[in-house]
Amino acid sequence: MRIRLRNSWLAVLLAASTSAIAADVTLLNVSYDPTRELYRDVNAAFAAQWKQQSGDTLTIRQSHGGSGKQARSVIDGLQADVVTLALSYDIDGLHENGNLVPADWQKRLPDNSAPYTSTIVFLVRKGNPKQLKDWNDLVRDGVGVITPNPKTSGGARWNYLAAWAYARRTLGSDDAARDFVTKLYRNVPVLDTGARGATTTFVERGQGDVLLAWENEALLAVREIGKDRFEIVVPSLSILAEPPVSVVDKVVDKRGTRAVAESYLRFLYTPQGQELAAKHHYRPRDRSVAEKYAADFPALTLVTVDEAFGGWHRAHQTHFADGASFDRIYVPGR
Amino acid sequence: MRIFRRQALPGFGLTLGLVLSYLTLIVLLPLAALVLKSASIGPHEFWAAATSPRALAAYRVTFGSAALAGLVNLVFGTLLAWVLVRYRFPGRGFIDALVDLPFALPTAVAGITLTALYAGNGPLGRWIEAAGYKVAYTPNGIVVALVFVSLPFIVRSVQPVLESLEADVEEAAATLGAGRLTILAKVILPALWPAILAGFALAFARSIGEYGSVIFIAGNMPMVSEIAPLLIVAKLDQRDYAGAAAIAVVILAVSFAVLLAINLVQLWLVRRRSAKAVR
């Protein structure tokens, strides 16, 4: 009895002393669908480093979902300290709705605030039975293409724009590109709402002949599910996907977490952070890390949304807004 | 003519007041907010959002498959209730408990499971597709998912009425020389119709709002297998709150009209029956 009493006093004392020296800090990182595994590792590594640096115990919670949906949650009041989303259009939305970040948020960190990049590749079944080598093979009759709905999935917008960019370059005009993309979507039997859902439809349900996927998702699928079932086909041209990151100013200023949130994002640019990104199949920005992992990331022609589509706002208006080019695939003449 | 009777709860005024405030808070306030949101755009934009070809197609898919699923359950749910009430057999309690499972299961789990079953490489889908049909990723899949989630409503509406239906009425009919079909048509079904209709209305309403299970199995092709709730979610993702509210208001209005119509029919059935009984 006495021993137990003494122990509990000790515990109280211990708890009091640690809380006096070091604080418990929490951060919420609101991210998009396929970054779960990446940020699990990044969070552990950064929390350890932060503990050493400041003595504070840092807990980073992460939330994942479709990029647009996640942005909407933050706009509607989810207290995210940082957002790490699929496209800058969604973070722009945080500025336009409620001024949660400043207009020039993307200039605050190097490389358009995108510490890692990715691109869109094809995942096909083993042996590539339909011989799909490049985008023009996807519009052939009898080819099933699996890609999510660009209205609800950030990843699917990259897919759509990659196909469009390829078609415009090889066929020469936006009109021809429209026909090409329309034909491509005629080959899509299922429109999932998110990237993970599309991967499941292709991998588990056996639908379609090719999955348009983030390079990191495709590499993950091949590594996890096995090289004997799937292989990756890299098209001649694709899009440079730059998933951006930002602190949410309104939230960090209210919660007093700006310093730790900013170092968290800068950590992504350090060699250690870049190494983790590469390990999780994101293309690192850092030259030396990129060289080390060069075998994983084949070279191909990459176009950016800025140079090919005049930025995300123009791209959204022309392609994804109500009645824009994507809608006209299904409801012509509107 | 007013009848005064002692009630267990005191005060008509007090209870009615409580009920009205409760309903206002829980039901009317959110609905009013929804209508208000949809009114934040002009009537032209509202009309355009609510009646675009894609929205019209989505209403067709949503209301059509909800009605179809309700009809399927109207037949099989009633039969299930009949078997559960009228027969005693081993495992009856187990089956009775099974009926409520679709209530308890998260609908996303139901959707994923059904898709795995009915996809072309699934244990059921393999045979169905070999026979030349497709369920998963077509409008048929939507009906399958809705039949699953709305089954309990009809069974649980019909069951208590059937239990209180005395078998001696049927026996009396039999002694008067009525055959099985006559007894079913003239004795049993008239007593059950109000409950069956109430169950159908609940199942139908549930199906209209169903999202979680359907999106996995539907294929979600615009104009073909895109349900109205998905269109709402897509609009929300585009941060088009007013457009989403416009579609929601249309669904709300149609649902309300359908439920009201079913309730009126039900009332008429009950009245007609009691009038006959008096005669």
Contact indicator for B183, A154 with CB cutoff of 8 Å = no
Residues near B50 by Cβ (< 8 Å), separated by ≥ 6?
A: B246, B247, B249, B250
Kind of pairing between the strands at A57-63 and A116-125: unpaired
pLDDT tens-digit map of B43-90: 898 998 899 999 999 999 999 999 999 999 999 999 999 999 999 999
Mean pLDDT over residues B262-275, rounded?
87
Phi-psi group of B243: left, alpha or beta (phi > 0 → left; psi -120 to 50 → alpha; rest → beta) = alpha
Distance of alpha carbon A99 from alpha carbon A318, whole angstroms: 25
A334/B234 Cβ within 8 A: no
Say which residue, A8 or A100, is predicted with more confidence: A100
Mean pLDDT over residues A109-131, rounded?
95
Long-range CB contact pairs, A164-167, < 8 A, 24+ = A164/A309, A164/A319, A165/A237, A165/A239, A165/A303, A165/A308, A165/A309, A166/A134, A166/A135, A166/A136, A166/A235, A166/A236, A166/A237, A166/A238, A167/A135
Mean pLDDT over residues A202-230, rounded?
89
Q: How far is A157 from chain B (nearest CA, A)?
A: 13
Residue written as tokens 């003494």? A6
Q: Is the pLDDT of residue A10 over 60?
A: no
- Residue B208 — very low, low, confident or very high, per pLDDT cuts 50/70/90? very high
Q: How many CA within 13 A on the CB side of residue A120?
A: 31
pLDDT of residue B264: 92
User: Could you give the ipTM of this predicted complex?
Assistant: 0.78
Pick the residue from chain B with its C-alpha nearest to A150: B234
Residues near B33 by Cβ (< 8 Å), separated by ≥ 6?
A: none
Contact indicator for B249, B38 with CB cutoff of 8 Å = yes
Say which residue, A14 or B257, is predicted with more confidence: B257
Mutate to test the interface with B, among A152, A187, A199, A328 (most CBs of B within 10 A): A152
Backbone angles phi, psi at A229, to 5 degrees: -115, -30
Pick the residue from chain A with its C-alpha nearest to B118: A205
Q: Is the pLDDT of residue B173 over 90?
A: no
Distance of alpha carbon B70 from alpha carbon B67, whole angstroms: 5
- Mean pLDDT, chain B, rounded, equals 90
Q: Which residue, B144, B137, B68, B145, is CA-closest to B105? A: B145
pLDDT of residue A16: 46
Q: How many CA within 13 A on the CB side of residue B213?
A: 25
Structure tokens belonging to residue B132: 């030349």
Q: Is the pLDDT of residue B7 over 80?
A: no
User: What does pTM read for this prediction?
Assistant: 0.83
pLDDT of residue A21: 57
pLDDT tens-digit map of A264-305: 999 999 999 999 999 999 999 999 999 999 998 998 999 999
pLDDT of residue A8: 52
Which residues face A125 on adjacent strands? A230
Pick the residue from chain A with its C-alpha nearest to B57: A331
pLDDT of residue B4: 56
Chain B residues with CB-CB distance to A under 8 A?
A: 49, 52-54, 115-116, 119-122, 136-137, 215-216, 219-223, 230, 233-234, 236-240, 243
Chain A residues with CB-CB distance to B under 8 A?
A: 66, 68-69, 72, 75, 93, 97, 149, 151-152, 188-193, 197, 204-207, 320-322, 327, 330-331, 334
A72/B236 Cβ within 8 A: yes
pLDDT of residue A83: 97
pLDDT of residue B138: 93
Contact indicator for B143, B203 with CB cutoff of 8 Å = no
Mean pLDDT over residues B2-23, rounded?
78
Q: Is the pLDDT of residue B3 over 80?
A: no
Which residues face A237 on adjacent strands? A301
Residues B45-278, CATH architecture = Orthogonal Bundle (1.10)
Which alpha helices (H) appear in B24-166, and where do they start and end? 29-38, 43-50, 53-86, 92-99, 101-104, 107-118, 125-130, 139-164
Q: How far is A323 from chain B (nearest CA, A)?
A: 10
Structure tokens belonging to residue B235: 């609009």
Residue written as tokens 């098209």? A235
A322/B238 Cβ within 8 A: yes
- Residue B28 — very low, low, confident or very high, per pLDDT cuts 50/70/90? very high
Q: How far is B4 from chain A (nearest CA, A)?
A: 52
What is the torsion angle, in degrees rounded to the nearest 10, for the CA atoms of residue A240, residue A201, residue A72 and residue A184? 50
Q: How many CB pairs under 8 A join A and B?
A: 73
Q: Is the pLDDT of residue A334 over 80?
A: no
Mutate to test the interface with B, among A85, A100, A191, A320 (most CBs of B within 10 A): A191
pLDDT tens-digit map of A103-113: 999 999 999 99
pLDDT tens-digit map of A253-275: 999 999 999 999 999 999 999 99
